[in-house]
Structure 1
């Protein structure tokens, strides 16, 4: 078992191929972060 993958390992993810999928869109990261923070607040996990 190896603890660290070599540099040529295929574990790097690139969204380029997925961006070409029909109907797949990405939302701005700011919207995602805002929604996550709102969710934490709704559940009492942050003020």
Structure 2
């Protein structure tokens, strides 16, 4: 299942990020999720 694979990849790669870069990586991830949500909210609005 794609979601399980993606989650395991994020966990695997996330564990390799140096401590001093983890906050920046977290901010990028949260921003990407927010943009993706906004995209799908805009595409699938009720008419």
Structure-2-length-normalised TM-score: 0.36
The structure, 1 or 2, with the larger RCO (C-alpha pairs under 8 Å, 6+ apart) is 1
Greater share of helix: 2
Structure-1-length-normalised TM-score: 0.36
Higher gyration radius (CA): 1
